[in-house]
Structure 1
Amino acid sequence: MSSLLAGDQALRGRAVLDLRIGRFRFRDAAKYWETDPRTAFLIDAVLGGAPGYRDIVGDPPEPGAEGLFHWLERTILNPSHVLFTEPDYLLAEDPRIRDRAIYNAIWWAVAMGATSPTQIGGLVGMDAKALTYHLNVMRDGGFLRHEQDLLRQRRPTITIADPTVRFHHLIVQPNISALEMRQARVVWERSRTTFSDKILGPHFEEAARTWVRWHGDEVGLDDIGHVGTTEVACPEHRGHEVDVMAVSRATLPRSKSARITLIGEAKCTNKTRTTADLHRLRHIRDLLVSLGWNAGDASFVLFSRNGFSSDLETAGAEGQVRLLDLESMYASS
């Protein structure tokens, strides 16, 4: 269907509407699942915002760690459940994809941390140029995302677009033999670190960027244009990865004249965030200014899944930084 309006197709020039239906964003998904923010975030990290999954899995999990496990045990970790092989069903929907093995291998490589064609090729055993067609198919089909650095001219970072596929390749596929023997508890216990570091962490960062893009104006962040990530060189450290950054609506990304309006950090760890995180954001802003970027007036935002220390909350009350926990991110204005 995605190629019906391509330049060489008969319908090209005759269509008057190209309406693309996307997934629910995290706030809409929480309302759809009718659950609390913490549980809604876990569902979103596993299944994403596709509304059709609720008909497949039924009710949301009960709050808490045990509730999540039992929900996973009867759904995506259950070899008798349709979601157990969901990636194959997704690939089957695209008629361009015939050899699913190479596409699953690409998904696996990206899930393992490969973010460029060269890195992916190294893991799947193919030359980067030979992967061009396959990567383009997966990008055009919405299976992979190509994310541009907000400040630097560099090749895009490749990530998995569908959380369900990410969960499958990080949790299900490496443990498929044990899961087929119905050892879901054993699998889940040894996969907790992977789930926290490689699924919840990146998903929380993406949710933070989504919040800035769609809801930042609710707290006075009015001049938000392009939102993304970047890396900032630092002579004192190895450099800094910036989870959340925005430039002014009046400027373009990857342009030295761009005005940076927001610098943020998103942490999904079990630790409360402290003023050390605010000091790091100030340090990054100073570095950007020293490198010639227009960042002197950039606002600071800290996102935390597990709250903030009292001294950081005091700094927030004084207007030095905006603080967002899960409840704040999910709360409608």
Structure 2
Amino acid sequence: MPKPAGMFDRDREWSMLVKFAADEQPGATLGVVSGRRRQGKSFLLESLCQELGGFYFSAQEATDAESLAAIGAALTRHLDPVVPFAPASWSTVVDVLLRIGRDRPVPVVIDEFPYLARSNPALPSIIQGAYAPRRMERTESRARLLLCGSAMSFMGGLLSGNAPLRGRASLDLPVDTLDYRLAARFWGLTDPRLALLVHAVVGGTPAYRTEMIRYDAPRVLDDFDDWVIRAILSPGSPMFLEARYLLAEEPDLRDSALYHSVLGAIAEGNSGRGGIAGYVGRKSNELSHPLTVLEDAGLITREIDAFRGNRTDFRIREPLLTFYHAMMRPFWPQLMRANATDRIWQRAKHRFIGNVVGPHFERICRDWTLHFAEDRFGDWPVQVTAGTVNDPANRTTHEVDVVAVGHADAGRPPLLAIGEVKWGETMGTGHLDRLRRIRDLVNRNDKYDTSQMRLVCFSGSGFSEDLVRLSGQGEVDLVGLDDLYA
């Protein structure tokens, strides 16, 4: 079934939904669709129901009784019974939903399912009971029930551990943000430098361009500053408060001040647990819960150091959160005065390069190495992260921005490449010398097979003639912005 007109990308998600909804096998099935708000989940599911004649219901924050009445009214409109349907319980509702699929496979969607479960925590158990293996209402139905939600911590636990619906779902589909290459196409940006700068601010959330900024994109690189001021930093823009709303949408993030402080610590470059604790003013062991909640909500991710397995670094996944905590939160009172926005941006622009673009460029380089470099470094990498290498002779440590590790069929995993990333400076032989020193130190480590390891320089500002010459001799791989977006 072809995608509906106007749907950008989402080929994999659409294909999986159509395959699930049109499955001719007997017996009702259950699927779960999750993802943060504004990724296009509802558009996907509404389109699916329109194409296949299914039932779509979007829940709202309401009492249990009001939600029952609302879904009863929606079912009345869809089924057009002689008498309006006024359900007294969710068990009755679920049975009616299953009956929709008595004659043919049909999608049945409950969007924003966490709202219903918050008002009635027994609802997952009720669905579990309705999907009992030998229950007639299930075996004689081909309803394809899809539960969708944006509360990532809730949706992540819906099918895990001892949850009632664990083992009941035949589809678990996350709808993630667009990757940086797709985001550039979606925004219509052909200049790699401009595309990366825009992605460092708004990431790959589709609705930021369509619904919130209303297709206002910077036309050329010289328009970028004005675009940030008018589209992001202006108090009249819907994007002005968006970063705050991202946290407010997660029901498990109750102490918003603590979570904003944790995100602020990471945005300031404190990626380790100890650094975050010192910034927040808490003990390290007191941060386990907030860090776990932020990770479950999809707002941060944890990375294991490639060379020191006992060290974990935390990174913010949503670029807009990094931009907010680095550029907006420190100047919030001044930003509320609209006539000061231009001056604040010019005054704090160095923070944008150092705290936002630099770390974001490192992340993009790791993403490229994992997803788009393929076998450029001899094999497909299965893990790409950062690392820290001890240098006892010089009593220091070296931070390695990109560490690509391949798959080991037996023995030690191969270390495919180590890389240095620089956004704002032309890379030269000095950067290569540093990588050579790190290579010597890594060769003494028995953790990896380093026999085929490549040295890589990633730059957003180009390479010196000497480094280009050495690259031609095979001593180093050079990766620029054009490579990242090719």
TM-score by length of 2: 0.64
Trace 1:83-232 onto structure 2 (pairs within 5 A): 83-182=239-338, 183-217=340-374, 219=376, 221-232=378-389
Q: Does 1:298 align with 2:456?
A: no
Q: Does 1:279 align with 2:279?
A: no
Change (3 A) 1:288 1:95: same
Change (3 A) 1:288 1:99: closer
**How far apart are 1:251 and its partner, in Å?**
6.5
Q: Deviations over 1:159-202 (max 9, x none)?
A: 22211011101111111122111211211111111111111111
Whether the 8 Å contact between 2:460 and 2:481 is mirrored in structure 1 is yes
**How far apart are 1:218 and its partner, in Å?**
6.2
Change (3 A) 1:90 1:274: same
What residue is the counterpart of 2:485 in the other structure? Answer: 330
Among residues 253, 256, 267, which one is paired with 2:422 in the alignment? 267
Instruction: Provide the C-alpha distance between the structure 2 equivalents of 1:190 and 1:102, rounded to a whole number of angstroms.
Output: 28
**How far apart are 1:224 and its partner, in Å?**
1.9
Instruction: Provide the C-alpha distance between the structure 2 equivalents of 1:237 and 1:251, rounded to a whole number of angstroms.
Output: 36
Whether the 8 Å contact between 2:423 and 2:460 is mirrored in structure 1 is yes
Gaps (5+ residues) in structure 1? none
Whether the 8 Å contact between 1:216 and 1:222 is mirrored in structure 2 is no
**How far apart are 1:155 and its partner, in Å?**
3.1
Change (3 A) 1:251 1:5: same
TM-score by length of 1: 0.91
Instruction: Provide the C-alpha distance between the structure 2 equivalents of 1:13 and 1:39, rounded to a whole number of angstroms.
Output: 45
**How far apart are 1:303 and its partner, in Å?**
0.8
Change (3 A) 1:274 1:122: closer
What residue is the counterpart of 1:11 in the other structure? Answer: 165
SS of residue in 1 equivalent to 2:292 = helix
Max radius of gyration: which structure? 2
Amino acid at match of 2:247: L
Instruction: Give runs of ≥4 in structure 1 deviating > 4 Å.
Output: none
What residue is the counterpart of 2:187 in the other structure? Answer: 33
Instruction: Provide the C-alpha distance between the structure 2 equivalents of 1:50 and 1:218, rounded to a whole number of angstroms.
Output: 29
Of 2-11 and 166-175, deviating more is: 2-11
Whether the 8 Å contact between 1:144 and 1:160 is mirrored in structure 2 is yes
Whether the 8 Å contact between 2:379 and 2:416 is mirrored in structure 1 is no
Whether the 8 Å contact between 2:379 and 2:406 is mirrored in structure 1 is no
Instruction: Provide the C-alpha distance between the structure 2 equivalents of 1:307 and 1:315, rounded to a whole number of angstroms.
Output: 14
Higher strand share: 2
Change (3 A) 1:131 1:152: closer
Instruction: Provide the C-alpha distance between the structure 2 equivalents of 1:128 and 1:233, rounded to a whole number of angstroms.
Output: 23
Whether the 8 Å contact between 2:377 and 2:454 is mirrored in structure 1 is no
Amino acid at match of 1:155: R
SS of residue in 1 equivalent to 2:382 = coil
Instruction: Provide the C-alpha distance between the structure 2 equivalents of 1:290 and 1:121, rounded to a whole number of angstroms.
Output: 33
**How far apart are 1:222 and its partner, in Å?**
2.2
Q: Deviations over 1:30-53 (max 9, x none)?
A: 111111211110011111111221
Whether the 8 Å contact between 1:225 and 1:250 is mirrored in structure 2 is no
The alignment yields a C-alpha RMSD, in angstroms, of 2.0
Q: Does 1:249 align with 2:249?
A: no
SS of residue in 1 equivalent to 2:421 = strand
Amino acid at match of 2:178: F
Instruction: Provide the C-alpha distance between the structure 1 equivalents of 2:300 and 2:377, rounded to a whole number of angstroms.
Output: 33
Change (3 A) 1:297 1:72: same
Q: Does 1:54 align with 2:212?
A: no
Among residues 397, 401, 407, which one is paired with 1:239 in the alignment? 397
Amino acid at match of 1:295: T
What residue is the counterpart of 2:413 in the other structure? Answer: 258
Residue-pair matches, total: 326
SS of residue in 1 equivalent to 2:407 = coil
**How far apart are 1:98 and its partner, in Å?**
2.5
Of 133-142 and 274-283, deviating more is: 274-283
SS of residue in 2 equivalent to 1:307 = coil
Instruction: Provide the C-alpha distance between the structure 1 equivalents of 2:457 and 2:409, rounded to a whole number of angstroms.
Output: 24
Amino acid at match of 1:133: H
Instruction: Provide the C-alpha distance between the structure 1 equivalents of 2:382 and 2:266, rounded to a whole number of angstroms.
Output: 28
Whether the 8 Å contact between 1:149 and 1:156 is mirrored in structure 2 is yes
Gaps (5+ residues) in structure 2? 1-154
**How far apart are 1:319 and its partner, in Å?**
2.1
Change (3 A) 1:5 1:113: same
